[in-house]
Amino acid sequence: MKQINVGLIGYKFMGKAHSHAYKDVGMFFDLPAQPVMKALCGRDEAGVKEAAAKFGWESYETSWEALLQREDIDLVDITAPSDAHREIVEAAAQAGKHVFCEKPLALNLEDSVAMWRAAEKAGIKHMVGFNYRRVPAVQLAKRLIDEGAIGEIRHFRGTYLQDFIVDPDFPLVWRLKREIAGSGPLGDLASHLIDIAHFLVGDIGEVIGMEKTFIKERQIPSSMTGLSATSKGGAMGKVTVEDATNFLFQFDNGALGSIEASRMCPGRKNYQTFEINGSEGSLSFSFERMNELEFFSRSDASYAQGFRTIQVTEPEHAYVEAWWPPGHVIGYEHTFIHEVKDLIEAIAADKMPQPSFADGVKCQAVVDSVIESAKTRRWVEVPKVTL
């Protein structure tokens, strides 16, 4: 069997999720090629060495430049913070490596387009990490929409709420710095919903948005791990991204949409929902119940109409046949396994994986437009980018 040798940059929250995916994907899916966990990369030698051994990587590097120079690496997986994405992607493309890059693709639209162009010029395969596309219930929503089950789509309503920075004593992690993250929950959380809106409904044409930073200064952290951090009560630093954002938009096809994203909602840990209303029915999804999809159809007899709950665990549902018997649910980590499955299959078949950098650029165009709108307090047309 053909092998695809992987080098992963980053070993904390997303690095761990991606490592788990490479390790387990071949256990459940019959793949045309085998991903081989060749090297894990991180700046702290003690930390990356320990993680490489724990996660099952053959070796480790402390420099992404050294990783890209290795002839035994075919695919570079980037889970580093957003400010590093462009430089690594352009270097990986020049080195002829396929690239899997976490979202958001870059700090801004200009960098995203540069990355897309570099990847296309090099002829490599490229994919951006919108893992929520790989939830079987979201795939079922796509199928029902494509089959016309809810008719002409008129509304998309998305919400993504968390509470991990509600405490004003929570430190100033990198996600709260615009120069590293690009934006706050807009790029981190809402980007997932923007991609789902693109995937299920169509391209977004114009937006109007607002944002708010409630806690403007925080303590500089002494250590950070994933979404957690500690501080010794030292110096304060400025928060340079939004804590919350809301925006309205119109799709090119005429449907209306709204998205709200915030990290300041007590009790909400990873509350991602969307509802889509059409001329003939509606769909509703909540990631907290990720194995279920709510479906309403106007074609049902009037005396029996109402939202029905579809348990998305049958073998004919996307990805599910590889897992457990009906009713035996899957979880968050499986979305990353599904991403890796699709990525490996695409590379082996010499096809472009989906979503590609083109989708990442399209998402970033919306993000940048919302940022501009929040500043100017007006409707902004989303730019259409082509190579």
Domain boundary among 132, 151, 184: 132
Query: What tokens were used for 200?
Result: 């299920």
Share of the chain above pLDDT 70, in %: 98
Q: Are residues 37 and 70 in the same domain?
A: yes
Domain contains 300 = yes
- 228 pLDDT exceeds 80? no
What CATH number is attached to the domain comprising 222?
3.30.360.10
pTM of the complete model beyond 0.85: yes
Q: Contact at 8 Å (CB) between 103 and 128?
A: yes
Q: Are residues 111 and 57 in the same domain?
A: yes
What CATH number is attached to the domain comprising 20?
3.40.50.720
Share of the chain above pLDDT 90, in %: 96
Q: How crowded is the C-beta side of 81, counted as CA atoms within 13 Å?
A: 18
Q: Are residues 95 and 234 in the same domain?
A: no
Q: Contact at 8 Å (CB) between 263 and 162?
A: yes
Residue type present at position 166: V
Q: Are residues 109 and 209 in the same domain?
A: no
Provide the strand spans (E) within the chain: 2-9, 33-41, 59-61, 75-78, 98-102, 126-129, 153-161, 204-212, 217-219, 223-225, 228-230, 236-238, 244-251, 256-262, 271-278, 281-286, 292-297, 308-311, 380-381
Closest CA to 348 of 129, 131, 125: 125
Q: Are residues 127 and 210 in the same domain?
A: no
Domain contains 384 = no
**Residue whose structure tokens are 């430089």:** 87
Q: Are residues 146 and 271 in the same domain?
A: yes
Average pLDDT, the chain: 97
Running DSSP on this structure, what letter comes out for residue 36?
E
Comparing 197-211, 228-242, 355-369, the range with the smallest average pLDDT is 228-242
Domain contains 308 = yes
pLDDT at 227: 65
Q: Are residues 255 and 244 in the same domain?
A: yes
Q: Are residues 168 and 79 in the same domain?
A: no
Q: How far apart are CA 182 and CA 205, in angstroms?
A: 22
pLDDT at 296: 98
Q: Are residues 139 and 118 in the same domain?
A: no
pLDDT at 1: 75
Number of domains in the chain: 2
Q: Are residues 15 and 59 in the same domain?
A: yes
Comparing 20-29, 222-231, 245-254, the range with the smallest average pLDDT is 222-231
Domain containing 274 equals: 135-353+364-375
Domain contains 348 = yes
Tell me the pLDDT band of 224, cut-offs 50, 70 and 90: low
What phi and psi values does residue 178 have, to the nearest 5 degrees? -60, -35
**Residue whose structure tokens are 């959380």:** 189
Model confidence over 244-294: pLDDT tens digits?
999 999 999 999 999 999 999 999 999 999 999 999 999 999 999 999 999
Model confidence over 146-175: pLDDT tens digits?
999 999 999 999 999 999 999 999 999 999
Q: Are residues 228 and 118 in the same domain?
A: no
pLDDT at 231: 72
Domain contains 381 = no
Model confidence over 26-49: pLDDT tens digits?
999 999 999 999 999 999 999 999
Q: Are residues 371 and 233 in the same domain?
A: yes
